[in-house]
Chain A
Amino acid sequence: MKTKFTFLFCLFAGLLFAQETEKTQKKLPSVELKDLSGSVINTANMGFEGPVVISFWATWCSPCKKELNTIHDLYPDWQDETGVTLVAVSVDDEKTKRQVAVYSNGKAWDYEILLDPNGDFKRAMGVNNVPHTFLIDTEGNIVYSHNNYAPGDEDELYEEILKLGSK
């Protein structure tokens, strides 16, 4: 028991000291996901120029669909003004995975769609439940996140995107 405590103490002491010198920054984790065409995309290296919004959703999640349909109407303006790209990551598993293409195309979405059927990216990003939206700056740092969706939340998200542009 005593040794266990010493071990933990050393670990925390080390962490504490290290925190003083270097601040940890949450970066996008590297997970391989497929897009709707079946091509493999690494989430740490998606290759977009401007800021990126990552929105976790599912075909069975009503608030998720409300959020993405609302942003769909605003998206052309958002892109023109800030160069933002929205990546909609579906957490639908094999049961409803094929309905993702039906829904996203049926709704004429212009988003990048990624499939996370076994929850690997969801887990790596610390998502408890959908919808959960993240904003990533051009250096790949996660600068803002919001769980849940209520009408009007898109305005707050857009303000955060604008903040990045003025940096």
Chain B
Amino acid sequence: MNLNFLLLAPFVMGASFLFAQGSISGNAESTFQYLNEDTVIGANQPPSKGLINSYMNVFYTNGNFKAGMRLESYLPRIQGYPNRFDGTGLGMRYVGYKNDFVDVTLGSFYEQFGSGLALRAYEDRALGYDNLLDGARVIVKPKPGIVLKGVYGYQRLSFQSGRIVHADGIVRGIDGEIHLNEAIKKMSDSELDIVLGASFVSKYQKDDNSTLILPENVGAYGGRFQLMYKNFFLDGEYIQKEQDPSNDNNYIYNYGHASVFNLTYTKKGLGLLFSAKSVDNMSYRSDRTKDLQDVFINYLPALNKTHTYNLVATLYPYATQPVGEVAYQVDFLYTFKRKSKLGGKYGTTIGANFSTTYQPKMDASSINPNDSTGVAYTSTPFVMSDSLYWQDINFNITKKINKKFSGILSYYNIKINNDVAKISNDAQGVINAHIGVVEMLYKIAPKHSIRAELQGLFVKPQANGENDKGDWFTALVEYTISPHYFFSFMNQYNYGNSDASKRVNYPIVTCGYIKESTRFTVSFGRQRAGLFCVGGVCRFVPANNGLTLSFTQSF
């Protein structure tokens, strides 16, 4: 042992004394799979048979000081996770200092500017998605109602041999936001509430292309606003991106844009939302050669409801086309009052949601393909073509019949353009599906409840008779004993598949034990291949058959 370390030892011991006086929090999660071969559903047994993912976050704060880290382990990774994740090591770590005026972080951090159209670094551990920034961040609050942010760093691309692998390009950004009613005294009593903001983000990646002259620094910038007046709430953001030839856009030299507007009207018992979105050539990554969900600097969520029932959520989900789309959404919820004619004793809630997405109009008529500008087409924000990408019309009614019994009825009609938003290898063009769901909950005793779901999905055949995988039926029964236990059984049956050999049942049993913030679950059975989505991001999970054990803990 060298002398330096001997000198350091008392310091480290002292430092850890200090640690113990602050506050420590965090969480851990571990998922283990033992998979079998199942030729009927095309599930393979991995060579190691067993797979395991684990991570633990530890966050520490003491006064103004903060530090945190996450250890991750893939031995090897579970199915559906990015295939390059392996090993055990630090996946995230930072130190920082925070008071009422300034917040400094060095190391890994997550951040979002405005609605994320220019910059969003975030994680979703369930998906294996993590595009954190590794570098430095400063947040300053010079006076009430004003927030200024600056970030500088490399994004996490991967996790190999227990180490973070960074993207090729560096990301820099500044953002400012002012809440006028807080910042300006005269406005503090105004009924009109105004927030304004602006962002500038830039990435640098070396031009290593031998045939094209690529812009090495690419900026994205824009502004946003938010107005509130009585029950009305209006917000919007517009971001423009400079020329960014990439693998996503086939190395064209167009400018890009993304814009979102939302108008909400709410009062007690009523909610109404209207949203509009326009995206064109807005894939913005810190490595221009990457694809799928890798190293996005910005976030372009799909403009539709995130569904929860299994068949609706996983068979035909839609994710934004960063290359371009124009989308609209209406969301509505109303509760009939208690003791009214339609409300009954407990009130009745009805919900409706409509969303639609089209390809933007891209006009190439004025473009000379032989000129050297590399601009491929002209477009105007919110101007769309008649090519449908997505449409979702859905309704639901929630009703409590009596003290023990309640239910939800839902209907969905989904159209998804499989040529653009590829979801299936068995269909072409627009898939048109109708889905009905009945959910019932019955409280047997104060701590004992039984819940059931019946779901049917019917695909309307196209002119040529094609209907993707055909019709599905799902049944689920769940028994819960509060606060510790749950048992559930689900079966999905693809009874309408045009290929008789694929009319398969997918039964799965799941049991769980929960004690405060500790949770164990065991499931055994078949899971069909499909898209597993959280928020607007999805990952493909292959079919599997076997045992899954999972453990989660917060502390």
Asked whether any CB of chain A lies closer than 8 Å to the CB of B111, the reply is yes
Cross-chain contact B552 with A147 (CB below 8 angstroms): yes
Cross-chain contact B271 with A106 (CB below 8 angstroms): yes
Cross-chain contact A19 with B20 (CB below 8 angstroms): yes
Contact of B449 among A123, A146, A150, A156 (CB under 8 A): A150
Cross-chain contact A132 with B269 (CB below 8 angstroms): no
Cross-chain contact B270 with A29 (CB below 8 angstroms): no
Cross-chain contact B21 with A24 (CB below 8 angstroms): yes
Cross-chain contact B512 with A148 (CB below 8 angstroms): yes
Chain A's closest residue to B59 (CB) is A124
Cross-chain contact A93 with B514 (CB below 8 angstroms): no
Chain A's closest residue to B521 (CB) is A148
Cross-chain contact A102 with B195 (CB below 8 angstroms): no
Cross-chain contact B271 with A103 (CB below 8 angstroms): yes
Contact of A105 among B195, B269, B449 (CB under 8 A): B269
Contact of B273 among A11, A18, A99, A153 (CB under 8 A): A99
Q: Which of A47-55, A76-84, A112-120 contacts B (4 or more CB under 8 A)?
A: A112-120
Cross-chain contact A128 with B27 (CB below 8 angstroms): yes
Cross-chain contact A106 with B123 (CB below 8 angstroms): no
How far apart are A137's CB and chain B's nearest CB, in angstroms? 15
Q: Specify which chain B residues have a CB less than 8 angstroms from the CB of A25 in the assembled complex.
A: 23
Asked whether any CB of chain A lies closer than 8 Å to the CB of B380, the reply is no
Chain B's closest residue to A60 (CB) is B306
Docked complex Cα distance between A144 and B554 (Å): 11
Cross-chain contact B266 with A101 (CB below 8 angstroms): yes
How far apart are B394's CB and chain A's nearest CB, in angstroms? 13
Cross-chain contact B536 with A24 (CB below 8 angstroms): no
Q: Specify which chain B residues have a CB less than 8 angstroms from the CB of A22 in the assembled complex.
A: 20-21
Chain A's closest residue to B145 (CB) is A40
Q: Which of B40-48, B202-210, B439-447 contacts A (4 or more CB under 8 A)?
A: B439-447
Contact with B along A53-70 (1 / 0, CB 8 A): 000000111100010000
Q: Specify which chain A residues have a CB less than 8 angstroms from the CB of B193 in the assembled complex.
A: 37-38
Contact with B along A94-109 (1 / 0, CB 8 A): 1110110111111110
Asked whether any CB of chain A lies closer than 8 Å to the CB of B292, the reply is no
Interface extent on A, as a size class?
Answer: 35 or more
Q: Specify which chain B residues have a CB less than 8 angstroms from the CB of A93 in the assembled complex.
A: 116, 122, 299, 301, 535-536
Asked whether any CB of chain A lies closer than 8 Å to the CB of B249, the reply is no
Chain A's closest residue to B303 (CB) is A95
Cross-chain contact B272 with A156 (CB below 8 angstroms): no
Chain A's closest residue to B227 (CB) is A38
Asked whether any CB of chain B lies closer than 8 Å to the CB of A3, the reply is yes
Cross-chain contact B233 with A101 (CB below 8 angstroms): yes
Contact of B264 among A14, A30, A101, A146 (CB under 8 A): A101
Asked whether any CB of chain A lies closer than 8 Å to the CB of B305, the reply is yes
Cross-chain contact A118 with B122 (CB below 8 angstroms): yes
Cross-chain contact B481 with A150 (CB below 8 angstroms): yes
Contact with B along A139-162 (1 / 0, CB 8 A): 000001111101111011000000
Cross-chain contact A126 with B554 (CB below 8 angstroms): yes
Cross-chain contact A60 with B517 (CB below 8 angstroms): no
How far apart are B25's CB and chain A's nearest CB, in angstroms? 5
Of residues A25, A93, A106, which shows the largest number of chain B Cβ atoms within 10 Å of its Cβ?
Answer: A106
Chain A's closest residue to B18 (CB) is A18
Cross-chain contact A105 with B27 (CB below 8 angstroms): no
Docked complex Cα distance between A6 and B147 (Å): 43
Q: Which of B282-290, B326-334, B420-428 contacts A (4 or more CB under 8 A)?
A: B326-334
Q: Specify which chain A residues have a CB less than 8 angstroms from the CB of B59 in the assembled complex.
A: 29, 123-124, 126
How far apart are A29's CB and chain B's nearest CB, in angstroms? 6
Docked complex Cα distance between A98 and B272 (Å): 10
Q: Specify which chain A residues have a CB less than 8 angstroms from the CB of B115 in the assembled complex.
A: 94
Cross-chain contact B228 with A117 (CB below 8 angstroms): no
Docked complex Cα distance between A40 and B535 (Å): 23
Cross-chain contact A11 with B120 (CB below 8 angstroms): no
Cross-chain contact A94 with B301 (CB below 8 angstroms): yes
Cross-chain contact B351 with A106 (CB below 8 angstroms): yes
Chain B's closest residue to A128 (CB) is B552
Contact of B266 among A3, A96, A102 (CB under 8 A): A102
Cross-chain contact A6 with B306 (CB below 8 angstroms): no
Identify which of residues 1-60 in chain B touch chain A, using a CB-to-CB cut-off of 8 Å.
1-2, 5, 8-9, 12-17, 19-27, 29, 57, 59
Asked whether any CB of chain B lies closer than 8 Å to the CB of A41, the reply is no
Q: Given A150-B482, A152-B483, are A118 and B111 neighbors across the interface (CB < 8 Å)? A: yes
Chain B's closest residue to A23 (CB) is B20
Cross-chain contact A150 with B486 (CB below 8 angstroms): yes
Docked complex Cα distance between A62 and B116 (Å): 26
Docked complex Cα distance between A129 and B22 (Å): 25
Q: Specify which chain A residues have a CB less than 8 angstroms from the CB of B480 in the assembled complex.
A: 150-152
Cross-chain contact A127 with B12 (CB below 8 angstroms): no
Cross-chain contact A156 with B482 (CB below 8 angstroms): yes
Q: Given A102-B271, A106-B271, are A10 and B12 neighbors across the interface (CB < 8 Å)? A: yes
The 5 A-B pairs at the shortest CB distance, nearest first, are namely A106-B333, A152-B482, A14-B16, A102-B271, A18-B20
* 5 interchain pairs, CB-CB under 8 A: A106-B269, A126-B555, A145-B517, A148-B486, A152-B482
**Which residues of chain B have a CB within 8 Å of any CB of chain A?**
1-2, 5, 8-9, 12-17, 19-27, 29, 57, 59, 61, 98, 110-112, 115-116, 120, 122-123, 125-126, 147, 179, 182, 193, 195, 226, 228, 233, 262, 264, 266-273, 275, 299, 301-303, 305-308, 331-335, 346, 349, 351, 441, 443, 446-449, 480-483, 486, 512, 514, 516-519, 535-536, 552-555
